[in-house]
Amino acid sequence: MTRSVTEAVAALGTWVSGLRWDAVPAPVAERLGTVLFDVLAANAVGARTEGQRAWRAAWPAPPGHSPVVGGGTLTDPVTAAWLNGPATVCLELDEGNKYAKGHPAAHVFPAVLALAAELDVAGEELAAALLAGYEVAARFGEATSLRSGTHPHGNWGVAGAAAGCARLLGLDAERTAAAIDAGSGLPVAGHFDSALDGNPVRDTWLGAANASGIAAARLAVAGSARNTGTAARTLGELLGSFDPEKLGEGLGSRFLISGNYFKRHSSCSYTHPVADLLIDARAHVDVAEVTEIEVHTHALAAGLDRTTWHNQLSAMFSTPFVAAVALLHGEVAPRYTELAPQEAPEIADLAKRVRVIEDPELTKRLPANRAARITVRLADGRSHTAEAANPVGDTDFQPLDRDRLGVVFAGLLDGDQAVLRAVGAVVDGMPAAPGARALLAPLAG
């Protein structure tokens, strides 16, 4: 398989180095802008959390040109990547891609934005690098089937960060392929239980991925990187299995960014269809009469069945917690996930009455459908059952556009429109910007 991986990565290197922004289809360019809006807004919201404030305070940031979003600091690219990566994902609000089985943009955008500010590249080059990085990351995610228990943060996405950074550095096809290969040799082997246990090391895997992407591209600049099909061994043996044919499928015509999803709940995406269904169920059931909530879901989500939580991260990865919050409050927002169990006895009590069951028929519908079915049983013997093929925000179901995302993030930012205006200015100004440095600097404010 190593040879086929090498050939597929070489083709990616050719595509990335030759991508012209003015040849990108208009709907794809528009989607990139929406994804960038989402990622920067999620980063800004995450930067306000106590944990990310402490992370920034503990990390010396030398002066530079790369913004720490919402951190009041301009620093070097690697430091910015380490700080912005975790902030982007810490509240589970960043976009994802069901075909990649994870979060391509969060693996790529912090690195590319940070390096673009240092290099002061033109806006069109920044846009091309973001798109190239996203597509490479998403294809590596689609090609990778991780072993059971492996978390998708920090492994397959590094190749995309390397691709985007290689594009910014102006590398030719061969060296771009070498950078992508090097990125695939720098994965994090993180266990999914870190999320379930509420260990924030899970968030830092995104800092590692973005910093590693910059390193892989620099390695190619130095002439020290080689395209040897590394992913066949790292992603295809150590961490799971790998299908190199997925890397080139429809390359240049099939853009995986067009099939992404956006999130309206502050929780793992696997919990979203459950939350959607239970928010709708509030019109049909009396919460005080609920004796049990039975959740049928697919194999990827079935392990999120813990009925207790220790902190915000473990709450966001507990379907019983999310189900209880959705039914009780009609939303799943950080103000609920940050509550300790003793601070929210009504949530803790209802969560204990939630059962999560894998339905093999729902598993068969992956990845096109991330389905769930709920049955709410009441004390008088009545019940309410409903099913959703995908969560709200999925491109194939009820997509969220930039305006609707703006409403979601405005609520999370307590109506602070200045932040969203700054993010919007970056998105709208990017294609025509003469340099990324002045474009991106206001994000630090």
Same domain, 34 and 139: yes
Same domain, 17 and 111: yes
Same domain, 304 and 435: no
* pLDDT of the residue at 85: 98
∠ Cα 337 338 343 (to 5°): 100
Same domain, 219 and 296: no
Same domain, 114 and 44: yes
Pairing of strands 354-358, 392-393: unpaired
Q: Are 323 and 274 in contact (CB under 8 A)?
A: yes
Q: How many domains does the chain have?
A: 2
Phi-psi region of 242 (alpha: psi -120 to 50; beta: other; left: phi over 0): beta
In CATH, what number is assigned to the domain containing residue 349? Answer: 3.30.1330.120
Q: How far is CA 74 from CA 54, 82, 118, 285, 335, in A?
A: 17, 13, 10, 51, 29
Residue entry with tokens 């590249």: 121
Among 374, 393, 412, residue at a domain's last position: 393
* pLDDT of the residue at 271: 98
Same domain, 30 and 131: yes
List the chain pLDDT tens, one digit each, 445 residues.
899 999 999 999 999 999 999 999 999 999 999 999 999 999 999 999 999 999 999 999 999 999 999 999 999 999 999 999 999 999 999 999 999 999 999 999 999 999 999 999 999 999 999 999 999 999 999 999 999 999 999 999 999 999 999 999 999 999 999 999 999 999 999 999 999 999 999 999 999 999 999 999 999 999 999 999 999 999 999 999 999 999 999 999 999 999 999 999 999 999 999 999 999 999 999 999 999 999 999 999 999 999 999 999 999 999 999 999 999 999 999 999 999 999 999 999 999 999 999 999 999 999 999 999 999 999 999 999 999 999 999 998 899 999 999 999 999 998 889 999 999 999 999 999 999 999 999 999 8
Same domain, 429 and 371: no
Among 378, 393, 408, residue at a domain's last position: 393
Residues 239, 244, 246, 250: what is their CA dihedral angle, to the nearest 10 degrees? 150
Angle between helix 26-47 and helix 123-143 axes, rounded to 10 deg: 90
Q: In 10 A of CB 173, how many CB atoms? A: 17
For 187, residues 6+ apart whose C-beta sits below 8 A from its C-beta are 154, 155, 156, 158, 234, 235, 239
Pairing of strands 290-297, 260-261: unpaired
In CATH, what number is assigned to the domain containing residue 432? Answer: 1.10.4100.10
Same domain, 185 and 124: yes
* pLDDT of the residue at 364: 97
Model pTM above 0.85: yes
Cα–Cα nearest to 371, from 434, 428, 321, 301: 301
Chain CA centroid to CA 204, Å: 13
Same domain, 387 and 406: no
Q: Are 158 and 107 in contact (CB under 8 A)?
A: yes
Distance in angstroms (rounded) separating the CA atoms of residues 167 and 13: 9
* pLDDT of the residue at 439: 98
Bond prior to 367 in cis (omega within 30° of 0) = yes
For 237, residues 6+ apart whose C-beta sits below 8 A from its C-beta are none
DSSP 250-284: TTTT--GGGGEE--SSSS-GGGHHHHHHHHHHTTT
Same domain, 275 and 258: no
Cα–Cα nearest to 69, from 45, 92, 50: 45
Same domain, 302 and 345: yes
Identify the burial level of 309 via C-beta atoms within 10 angstroms of its C-beta, where 0-12 means exposed, 13-18 middle and 19 or more buried: buried
Chain CA centroid to CA 296, Å: 24
Q: 274: domain range? A: 269-393
Same domain, 298 and 387: yes
